[in-house]
Structure 1
């Protein structure tokens, strides 16, 4: 089946990575089913998606912590579009604070959305895919699924759980001899989305995007590529890949480095912040947005320019050395 004929369900499609992913699939001509708590933001996403190649967008407001609502999401997708080829579990929330300072209701909410929301998505999608004989389940995790962070304990726990969920589902499909269903995990580094401003925060310091920051479009491209070329796990962002490698080789060193980096650059030393539940229990108002204003796209372009300049400089230097011939000639 051509990618343009696929039906793709995306949770957390109201902003950030989910919204960018929905638009990326729509750009390929796919039909997209958009799920999140905020109907106004979903309809804004739908308008952007429908600008591309006449792609169809189905809006289904869904709270992923409600298993029946997620089952209804899958039912609507099949009823109105005929099938589910790709399901992207992406909806996520976060809470920052010392372990003892995060209210238990917020701790539970993060785990409910970021773990059970993915469980509900997988349980809704996999029976449909089994019936079809094909399908791709993609779980959006994080590099903190490999190396945790201080100050975001429930989020780090949830992303480790997402890694485990993907692995155990692949193993189950293997022992059952299922060939046509793929389960993939995406591990982004820091991404320029509204995620950080919408997080619960009990640190007393403003949460900022920890550099280097990458664009959500970069993650979306990785997700689309997984449908064409499935892989177990994909890390998005060179800094993320370096961190994951280090965490597997020297986990103690990686832990210490992440702790220092988080305290130094993930929480502002200049701006204070009042205690807040963020958007955990009540979704943020408005039409949503892909980007969070952290400059991910601009910084990525700047890094590419710097790398290109460095490579060009190295090539010029090498050319001059070759033109002079070997030393002593």
Structure 2
């Protein structure tokens, strides 16, 4: 039987990839994000593969917005089986150079809105005595990095909150609280971020795809687990942070400036912290090469080159004079 899945932050990045992944499984979706235009595009993408979808433009930081979203999902489909919270914003800059209003809005979006989503979901799950809440954390909820103070603060808080929620749900075996912990992911969030560091941010290597994280989310909905880490260096970073704190703190600043910031200058900007930028919303952020497109391009080039070589060979053969007696020899074979 298809599940009813609520996804917040569904217009871009991991949330949009997750919506597509659930849609491909035939689940019924309630999609939420700030931008009505982009959200309608995601709705149509999911409907094209046969999914039943309701899009609900929602600012997760508004009081009561997530309770209203839950009520809409229940009114539309009768229940909620899975709630996936992916809404997130970022801000680059030293703590003392990041405006207080920006810092607080990042925490409000990334932590307090996640708590509001958990409250709305768990209220319904406790009544139904079943359901799965999936929160999107980060490896930066286990380690720290400079120039991302508000984001790190939010993700550390979210990791603590998810642990508390699991402890408080032990009396309900049918209710699961899960955490997806990605490392660097190829999404638009880095370019969309507020920035007071003077240079555009980027995901440090190695970078994974939002589709891979989305598959982990759906797998977690199928087989709930406490935490799923998605990223090849996540464990190494956590071990270094815990076992070698002095060395970690010496190296993380230069590594962040080298791998986490580009050379492209950017003036101070609020990014999408307070309002969306629909034109910048997509599944991918363009930090990884489009391998399928590259392979298609290479294949097309190879096919064109092969066809051209074949035409040249045929022209040479056609223009070559016949060998004397060749016809006679051929007729005796």
Deviation of the 1:255 alpha carbon: 4.1
Question: Is the Cα–Cα contact under 8 Å of residues 40 and 286 in structure 1 kept in the other structure?
Answer: no
Matches within 5 A, 1:222-261: 222-261=216-255
Deviation of the 1:210 alpha carbon: 1.4
Question: Is the Cα–Cα contact under 8 Å of residues 14 and 283 in structure 2 kept in the other structure?
Answer: yes
Question: Is the Cα–Cα contact under 8 Å of residues 202 and 274 in structure 1 kept in the other structure?
Answer: yes
Q: Deviations over 1:6-50 (max 9, x none)?
A: 011111001000000111011100011110110101011111111
Paired position in structure 1 for 2:192: 198
Paired position in structure 2 for 1:127: 123
Question: Is the Cα–Cα contact under 8 Å of residues 192 and 280 in structure 2 kept in the other structure?
Answer: no
Q: Which runs of 5+ in 2 are unaligned?
A: 296-333
- Give the TM-score taking structure 1 as reference length: 0.85
Name the stretch that deviates more: 75-84 or 205-214.
205-214
Aligned-partner Cα distance in 1 for 2:134–2:246: 29
Q: Deviations over 1:238-268 (max 9, x none)?
A: 1223323433444444444433321211112
Aligned-partner Cα distance in 2 for 1:23–1:85: 17
Paired position in structure 1 for 2:35: 38
Match among 161, 166, 177 for residue 162 of structure 2: 166
Q: Please state whether the residue corresponding to 2:88 is helix, strand or coil.
A: coil
Number of residue pairs matched by the alignment? 294
Deviation of the 1:62 alpha carbon: 0.6
- Give the TM-score taking structure 2 as reference length: 0.84
Match among 76, 85, 90 for residue 89 of structure 1: 85
Paired position in structure 2 for 1:107: 103
Paired position in structure 2 for 1:77: 73
Q: Which runs of 5+ in 1 are unaligned?
A: 303-329
Distance 1:238 1:154, change over 3 A: same
Paired position in structure 2 for 1:291: 284
Aligned-partner Cα distance in 2 for 1:282–1:267: 23
Match among 251, 261, 265 for residue 267 of structure 1: 261
Q: Deviations over 1:156-206 (max 9, x none)?
A: 0000011001000001112xx111000011110110010001100001112
Match among 130, 142, 145 for residue 141 of structure 2: 145
